């Protein structure tokens, strides 16, 4: 295992490390064996965490791939610089790669504990690896892959010619003649299959070399998830009072602002009867579902889940929830309601099945998961409404000025749904003017990330207004 | 509209159906996937059916999840007892689902499940004009036909799946079970990928235009389009008449992203009801092409959009609408085939995908029709199964064949798999192993047979060889060099006395007496003549007492004496077990010689057998007494444990 090319400076030290870390990319197969201080331990871990969190928030903002890559490069240069072998003269490659290596393994330890943590960690690490792989130049990449012994079967020239039509139809953006195709099982490239970005025949996917990164990331993910499983089994044997608290502290950092569900909500008492009076404080998604519920006297499963958990979040108790839904489903007989829906509602409150106390869904999961199908009303209006419908809906719910309407729709076109929601909040609660006036108190501090926080802010705001008016 | 509509299945009819028609055996075979090959039993335990979740909906609408059964009888008994209105099939878990509560939750997870698809007519409500909700008619059923055609060919050709079971859901939809081994083992992620690959219609109730296509169609979409083109005019324009009323055609126009065209067309169509949908569609297509060619020079993107718009509308109105949540999760339940729909009473029968045009949901047998058919059936000569007497026969036959197909493939796969395992022993094919084992066994048996001594004579040993045989002795009489054996237990001492000492002594005495009577010594009568005379006498006596002049009985006695000397533990021992056995052996060998020459002597033959069995009995006793003596004895006698302890055939 050695690098043939002598790209490195003359000093022996760098050369040494070039043998330890010959490439910028790393599959993290071998754990680091050296001593580090606890301070370094913590710093390394937190720095890498910053990068991973940046990746997460960038993907939540639904930026384009290019924007995300730019953003990450900035953040990564700040916290966790990692340069290609070309930059050997300007940067301490050895240091950078060591830090990358060690920090990965620290986080691996911190994030192996639960399924949820593992999932989050794998997702962000894969994204980071993907960005780095794309950035890397062709020779480095190939050398890295050779080193890792990653090969795939090529399509021969004859076969390629015989499938010319299909291959170029499936990949319209490539230059067919220069492209090499790999043959893999379709299970290996699920995201290409899902996007219909690859030609499939008889269970084999024909992946163009331009999508090679997908194959590499799949491999990366496979190894990482196996390694995490291993780590989680080994974790209980760690008994080190110096690093245990550190590790515990690190994995608390994930998903920074999870909505904390507390019972002392700001509204006095929510009952089945006064939900209607509060609709004004609801974010658009919930308002839409409430309207549809009143109109159709029925909601489909995921809509019920999303709305019912939201109501739970604002303080509707299970008894009241049962009354609320019973009254709302007015066209359904008592018997049918008890049979088909009551279970579902109790389940949401953790009283049936595996008795999990579900939290209200946050914006991220509403936007990303469970895309509504035909006839389904759930989801985020900014994402799941067609433009005309959204326009109509916005107008109905208080966006009066055309300029405001246009501003929101522009944000939506940029795919920043949560920003659009925040904007909508500011417009309908007449915060726009106060912001321009510099009225700090009435300024909405951050982007909406949770329907319940929207509700909370809305209620607080109206309370402030009331008190000011009464003065 | 149909007489068969809404014949709800009563509990009586259901129990009748389960007892007479439900294909329990094929069901269990299906869900087992042929894991009974011997080699596989060694590799992995056969848990396919035992660990499969089955859920029941009872008549009371109670829902019982996580049932599992050991086999056909177990399942049948339970179903007959509970009489469920619906049987759902879930995944194969790591442990038996019924034991779920006794295990840690993390140990209980799904490992295998068919890839399933569910297409429900209610999802077509926004595009169909004939019915809505749970009801269907012949017109809208055609959507299902198209759906089966498109999905079936995609699963077969693109993903390479072979075993697809399409099932009518009993009321308004169809299910598809993809039973290939690699399909069953797909991860949730891969399942989601396949669904997303197949799903073209995306978006909730608030999105009007649910299909977004690229300019260059993926080969899969191209093929689907070819199928759609065959049906679009017939189903969407003629049957559904989607451009008929204003309410419907405005929905279509909303898919066009160009206000001018919408305005133009709606002005044209408003008020005039004379035009058919087909004509209107032509106008719409013309308008789109016209607009595209006009704007083509200025804005190519807009032109592209308009060009593809026609296809997008066609897809939106014809392409199958999958219930995606069903397919994405491995542990999702789906109603199994051959259930009875509780509302319609129809049996959930399989649909042949290549003949799906001719499938008529209203002609499907219902429980009550089956009941009548069975009553009307006239018993023929041949005894036949109940289902063969009714219209359910082709469906059950189809299902049987389908299951045979899957298990055949599973068997072949198993064979291949044993070929690929790392262990060199398992690398060989099972038949080869079997053949070799049989050959080995045979050779061992043969060797054993060869080494098996004759139960009567045993293997010749030094002892048995040393025994004298009458015929040999008699023959040796003329041979002067042969060893002489003496009769009457004469030993060397006796011989010396009789044949050496005595003649000399007698001769000497005769000489003496001659001298006393007659002092004169006769010259002719000298010392030696008397001795010669005596020696002649001795010689005669010798031949008289020699064994070769004795009878067989004497030889026998001689043998017995020798044997007693050989086997006796001390001088006086003539009756210990080993001596008895050895003496019996002598007698047996003797008698055997006789039987060989006189095979008609049945009487003595019986005697021989008696002797052999007696020896066997004695040796068995000896074994109980002392193993050491036993083994030395049988070794000397040339016998083997096998001819002593086992049954012996003489």
pLDDT tens for A342-373 read 888 888 888 877 777 788 888 878 887 777 87
Write down the pLDDT at residue B618. Answer: 92
- The span from the CA of B334 to the CA of B323, in Å, is 12
- Beta-carbon separation of B205 and A372 below 8 A: yes
Residue with tokens 């608030």, as numbered in its chain:
B206
- Beta-carbon separation of B126 and A375 below 8 A: yes
**Mean pLDDT in chain B?**
82
Tell whether A222 is within 8 A of chain B (Cβ).
no
Provide, as residue numbers in chain A, all residues whose Cβ is less than 8 Å from the Cβ of B324: 373
Helix A417-428 / helix A451-470 crossing angle, nearest 10 deg: 20
**Tens digits of per-residue pLDDT, B108-145?**
888 889 999 999 988 888 888 888 878 888 888 999 99
Q: Which of residues 261-320 of A touch B (CB under 8 A)?
A: 288
- Beta-carbon separation of A386 and B209 below 8 A: yes
Q: Which residue of A has its CA nearest to B219?
A: A166
Tell whether A130 is within 8 A of chain B (Cβ).
no
Write down the pLDDT at residue B40. Answer: 42
pLDDT band at B154 (very low <50, low <70, confident <90, very high): very high
Write down the pLDDT at residue A12. Answer: 35
The answer to whether residue A100 scores a pLDDT higher than 60 is yes
Share of chain A above pLDDT 70, in %: 85
Provide, as residue numbers in chain A, all residues whose Cβ is less than 8 Å from the Cβ of B319: none
**Tens digits of per-residue pLDDT, B403-455?**
888 888 777 776 666 555 444 545 557 778 888 889 999 999 888 888 777 87
Write down the pLDDT at residue B39. Answer: 39
Write down the pLDDT at residue A272. Answer: 77
Higher pLDDT, B49 or B523: B49
- Nearest residue to B169 via CA among B351, B13, B410: B351
Write down the pLDDT at residue B296. Answer: 57
* ipTM at complex level: 0.73
Tell whether B162 is within 8 A of chain A (Cβ).
no
- Category of A446 on φ-ψ map: left (φ > 0), alpha (ψ -120 to 50) or beta: beta
Q: Which residue of B has its CA nearest to A203?
A: B159
The answer to whether residue B390 scores a pLDDT higher than 60 is yes
Segment B500-521 shows an average pLDDT of 73
- Nearest residue to B175 via CA among B355, B9, B403, B337: B337
Write down the pLDDT at residue A268. Answer: 65
Write down the pLDDT at residue B527. Answer: 61
Higher pLDDT, A24 or B591: B591
Higher pLDDT, A56 or B28: B28
- Nearest residue to B143 via CA among B335, B361, B324, B346: B361
Segment B451-473 shows an average pLDDT of 81
Write down the pLDDT at residue B603. Answer: 92
- The span from the CA of A65 to the CA of A58, in Å, is 10
**Strand residues in A186-302 grouped as ranges (E):** 199-201, 204-208
Query: Does A421 count as an annotated binding residue?
Result: yes
Provide, as residue numbers in chain B, all residues whose Cβ is less than 8 Å from the Cβ of A371: 202-204
Number of other CB atoms surrounding residue B10 within 10 Å: 14
The answer to whether residue B236 scores a pLDDT higher than 60 is yes
**Tens digits of per-residue pLDDT, B170-198?**
888 999 999 988 888 898 889 999 999 99
Whether B518 sits among the annotated catalytic residues: the reply is: no
- Beta-carbon separation of B206 and A374 below 8 A: no
Tell whether B216 is within 8 A of chain A (Cβ).
yes
The answer to whether residue B26 scores a pLDDT higher than 70 is yes
pLDDT band at A437 (very low <50, low <70, confident <90, very high): very low
Whether B523 sits among the annotated catalytic residues: the reply is: no
**Tens digits of per-residue pLDDT, A209-267?**
888 888 888 888 888 988 888 888 877 777 777 777 777 777 666 544 454 555 445 56
Write down the pLDDT at residue A420. Answer: 84
Q: How far is A65 from chain B (nearest CA, A)?
A: 19
Q: Record the tokens describing residue A413, joined without a space.
A: 């076109």
Residues with Cβ within 8 Å of B138's Cβ and at least 6 positions away in sequence, in order, are B360, B362
Segment A329-337 shows an average pLDDT of 82
Buried residues in A163-186 as b, exposed as e (16+ CB within 10 A): beebbbbbbeebeeeebebbebeb
Q: Which residue of A has its CA nearest to B255?
A: A386
- The span from the CA of B265 to the CA of B170, in Å, is 41
- The span from the CA of B126 to the CA of B99, in Å, is 45
Write down the pLDDT at residue B503. Answer: 79
pLDDT band at B398 (very low <50, low <70, confident <90, very high): very high
Write down the pLDDT at residue A260. Answer: 53
Q: Which residue of A has its CA nearest to B322?
A: A373
- The span from the CA of A411 to the CA of A63, in Å, is 12
The answer to whether residue A441 scores a pLDDT higher than 50 is no
Residue A316, classed as helix, strand or coil, is: coil
Higher pLDDT, A449 or B418: A449
Tell whether A461 is within 8 A of chain B (Cβ).
no
pLDDT band at B148 (very low <50, low <70, confident <90, very high): very high
Query: Does A430 count as an annotated binding residue?
Result: no
**Tens digits of per-residue pLDDT, B269-316?**
887 667 788 888 888 888 888 887 776 555 567 777 777 888 888 998
**Tens digits of per-residue pLDDT, B596-648?**
888 888 999 999 989 999 998 999 999 888 888 888 888 888 888 877 777 77
Write down the pLDDT at residue B44. Answer: 45
Write down the pLDDT at residue B1. Answer: 38
A60 within 8 A of A418, measured Cβ to Cβ: yes
Nearest CB neighbour to A377, from listed B159, B205, B208: B205
- Nearest residue to B581 via CA among B557, B612, B555, B554: B612
Share of chain A above pLDDT 90, in %: 0
pLDDT band at B579 (very low <50, low <70, confident <90, very high): very high
Higher pLDDT, B7 or B349: B349
Q: Which residue of B has its CA nearest to A353?
A: B65
Segment A274-293 shows an average pLDDT of 85
Q: Report DSSP letters for B198-248, one per residue.
A: H------TT-S------SSPPHHHHHHHHHHHHHHIIIIIIIS-TTSSHHH
- Beta-carbon separation of B196 and A193 below 8 A: yes
- The span from the CA of A439 to the CA of A429, in Å, is 14
Nearest CB neighbour to B206, from listed A191, A339, A385: A385
Whether B120 sits among the annotated catalytic residues: the reply is: yes
Tell whether A193 is within 8 A of chain B (Cβ).
yes
Tell whether B323 is within 8 A of chain A (Cβ).
yes
pLDDT band at B223 (very low <50, low <70, confident <90, very high): very high
A441 within 8 A of A432, measured Cβ to Cβ: no
Compute the C-alpha angle A322/A272/A452, nearest 5°.
Answer: 95
Share of chain B above pLDDT 90, in %: 15
| Partners of residue A343 on adjacent β-strands | none
Tell whether B187 is within 8 A of chain A (Cβ).
yes
Write down the pLDDT at residue A123. Answer: 87
Tell whether B328 is within 8 A of chain A (Cβ).
no
Q: Which of residues 117-156 of B touch A (CB under 8 A)?
A: 122-126
* Distance, C-alpha B452 to centroid of its chain: 37
- Beta-carbon separation of B193 and A191 below 8 A: yes
pLDDT band at B227 (very low <50, low <70, confident <90, very high): very high
pTM above threshold 0.90: no
Provide, as residue numbers in chain B, all residues whose Cβ is less than 8 Å from the Cβ of A196: 197, 218, 220-221
- The span from the CA of B220 to the CA of B263, in Å, is 34
Tell whether B208 is within 8 A of chain A (Cβ).
yes
Burial (0-12, 13-18, 19+ Cβ within 10 Å), B12: exposed
- Beta-carbon separation of A386 and B219 below 8 A: no
Nearest CB neighbour to A386, from listed B207, B216, B217: B207
Query: Does A285 count as an annotated binding residue?
Result: yes
* Distance, C-alpha B39 to centroid of its chain: 9
**Tens digits of per-residue pLDDT, B39-95?**
344 334 456 788 889 999 888 878 888 888 888 888 889 898 888 989 999 998 888
């Amino acid at each position: 295992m050695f690098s043939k090319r002598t790209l490195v400076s003359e000093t022996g030290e760098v050369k040494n490390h070039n043998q330890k870390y010959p490439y910028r990319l790393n599959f993290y197969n071998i754990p680091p064996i050296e001593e580090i201080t606890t301070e370094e331990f913590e710093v390394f871990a937190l720095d890498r965490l910053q990068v991973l969190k940046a990746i997460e928030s960038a993907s939540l903002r639904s930026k384009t791939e290019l924007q995300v890559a730019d953003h990450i490069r900035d953040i990564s240069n700040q916290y966790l610089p990692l340069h290609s072998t070309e930059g050997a003269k300007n940067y301490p490659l050895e240091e950078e790669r060591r830090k990358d290596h060690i920090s990965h393994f620290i986080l691996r330890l911190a994030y192996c504990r639960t399924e949820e943590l593992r999932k989050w960690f794998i997702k962000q690490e894969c994204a980071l690896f993907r960005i780095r792989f794309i950035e890397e130049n062709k020779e480095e990449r190939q050398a890295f892959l050779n080193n890792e012994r990653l090969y795939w079967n090529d399509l021969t020239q004859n076969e390629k010619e015989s499938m010319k039509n299909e291959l170029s139809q499936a990949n319209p953006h490539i230059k067919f003649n220069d492209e090499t195709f790999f043959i893999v099982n379709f299970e290996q490239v699920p995201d290409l299959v899902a996007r219909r970005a690859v030609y499939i025949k008889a269970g084999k996917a024909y992946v163009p070399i331009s999508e090679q990164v997908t194959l590499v990331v799949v491999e990366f993910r496979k190894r990482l998830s196996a390694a995490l499983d291993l780590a989680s089994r080994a974790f209980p044997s760690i008994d080190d009072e110096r690093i245990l608290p550190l590790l515990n502290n690190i994995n608390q950092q994930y998903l920074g602002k999870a909505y904390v569900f507390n019972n002392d909500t700001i509204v006095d008492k929510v009952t089945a009867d006064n939900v209607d009076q509060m609709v004004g404080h609801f974010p658009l998604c919930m308002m839409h579902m409430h309207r549809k519920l009143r109109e159709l006297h029925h909601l489909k499963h995921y809509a019920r889940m999303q709305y019912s958990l939201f109501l739970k979040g604002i303080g509707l108790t299970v008894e009241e929830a049962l009354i609320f839904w019973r009254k709302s489903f007015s066209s359904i007989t008592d018997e049918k309601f008890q049979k088909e829906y009551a279970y579902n509602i109790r389940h949401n409150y953790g009283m049936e099945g595996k008795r999990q106390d579900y939290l209200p869904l946050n914006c991220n999961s509403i936007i990303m998961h469970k895309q509504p199908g035909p006839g389904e009303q759930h989801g985020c209006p900014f994402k799941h409404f067609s433009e005309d419908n959204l326009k109509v809906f916005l107008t109905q719910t208080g966006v009066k000025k055309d300029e405001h309407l246009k501003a929101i729709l522009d944000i939506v076109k940029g795919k920043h749904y949560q920003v659009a929601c925040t904007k909508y909040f500011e417009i309908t609660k007449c915060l726009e003017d106060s912001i321009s006036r510099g009225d700090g108190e009435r300024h909405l501090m951050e982007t909406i990330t949770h329907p319940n926080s929207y509700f909370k802010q809305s209620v607080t705001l109206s309370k402030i207004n009331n008190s000011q008016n009464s003065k | 509209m149909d007489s068969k509509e809404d014949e709800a299945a009563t509990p009586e009819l259901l129990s009748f159906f389960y007892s007479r028609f439900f294909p329990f055996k094929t069901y269990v075979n299906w869900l087992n996937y042929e894991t009974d090959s011997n080699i596989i039993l060694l590799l992995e335990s056969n848990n396919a059916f035992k660990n499969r979740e089955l859920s029941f909906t009872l008549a009371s609408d109670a829902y019982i999840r996580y049932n599992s059964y050991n086999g056909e009888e177990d399942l049948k008994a339970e179903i007959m007892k509970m009489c469920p209105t619906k049987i759902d099939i879930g995944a194969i878990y790591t442990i038996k689902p019924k034991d779920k509560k006794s295990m840690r939750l993390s140990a209980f997870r799904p490992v295998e499940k068919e890839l399933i698809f569910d297409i429900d007519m209610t999802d077509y409500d926004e595009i169909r004009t004939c019915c809505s909700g749970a009801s269907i008619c012949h017109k809208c059923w055609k959507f299902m036909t198209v759906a089966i055609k498109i999905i079936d060919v995609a699963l077969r050709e693109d993903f390479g799946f072979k075993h697809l079971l399409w099932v009518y859901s009993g009321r308004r939809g169809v299910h598809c079970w993809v039973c290939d081994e690699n399909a069953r083992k797909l991860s949730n992620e891969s399942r989601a990928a396949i669904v997303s690959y197949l799903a073209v219609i995306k978006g909730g109730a608030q999105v009007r235009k649910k299909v977004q296509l690229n300019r260059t169609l993926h080969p899969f979409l191209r093929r689907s389009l070819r199928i759609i083109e065959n049906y679009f005019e017939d189903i969407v324009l003629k049957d559904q008449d989607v451009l008929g009323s204003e309410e419907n055609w405005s929905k279509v126009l909303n898919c066009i992203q160009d206000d001018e065209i919408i305005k133009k067309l709606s002005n044209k169509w408003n008020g005039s009801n004379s035009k058919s949908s087909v004509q209107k569609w032509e106008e719409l297509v013309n308008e789109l092409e016209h607009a595209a060619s006009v704007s083509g020079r200025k804005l190519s993107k807009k032109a592209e959009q308009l060009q593809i718009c026609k296809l997008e509308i066609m897809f939106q109105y014809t392409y199958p609408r999958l219930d995606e949540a069903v397919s994405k999760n491995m542990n999702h339940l789906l109603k199994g085939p051959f259930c009875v729909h509780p509302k319609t009473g129809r049996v959930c029968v399989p649909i042949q995908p290549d003949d799906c045009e001719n499938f008529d949901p209203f002609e499907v047998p219902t429980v009550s029709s089956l009941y009548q058919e069975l009553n009307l059936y006239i018993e023929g000569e041949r005894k036949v199964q109940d289902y063969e007497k009714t219209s359910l026969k082709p469906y059950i036959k189809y299902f049987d064949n389908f299951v045979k197909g899957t298990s055949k493939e599973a068997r072949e796969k198993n064979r291949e798999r044993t070929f690929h395992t790392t262990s060199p022993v398992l690398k060989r094919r099972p038949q080869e192993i079997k053949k070799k084992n049989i050959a080995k066994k045979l050779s061992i048996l043969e060797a054993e047979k060869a080494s098996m001594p004759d139960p009567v004579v045993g293997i010749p040993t030094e002892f048995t060889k040393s025994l004298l045989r009458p015929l040999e002795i008699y023959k040796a009489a003329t041979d002067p060099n042969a060893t002489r054996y003496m009769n009457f237990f004469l030993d060397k001492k006796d011989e010396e006395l009789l044949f050496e000492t005595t003649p000399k002594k007698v001769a000497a005495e005769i000489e003496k007496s001659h001298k006393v009577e007659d002092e004169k010594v006769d010259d002719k009568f000298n010392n030696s003549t008397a001795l010669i005379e005596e020696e002649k006498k001795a010689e005669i006596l010798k031949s008289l007492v020699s064994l070769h002049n004795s009878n067989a009985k004497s030889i026998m006695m001689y043998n017995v004496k020798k044997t007693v000397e050989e086997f006796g533990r001390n001088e006086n021992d003539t009756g210990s077990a080993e001596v008895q056995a050895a003496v019996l052996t002598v007698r047996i060998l003797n008698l055997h010689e006789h039987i060989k020459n006189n095979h008609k002597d049945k009487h003595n033959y019986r005697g021989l057998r008696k002797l052999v069995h007696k020896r066997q009995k004695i040796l068995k006793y000896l074994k109980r007494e002392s193993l050491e003596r036993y083994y030395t004895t049988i070794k000397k006698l040339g016998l083997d444990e096998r001819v002593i302890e086992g049954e012996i055939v003489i």
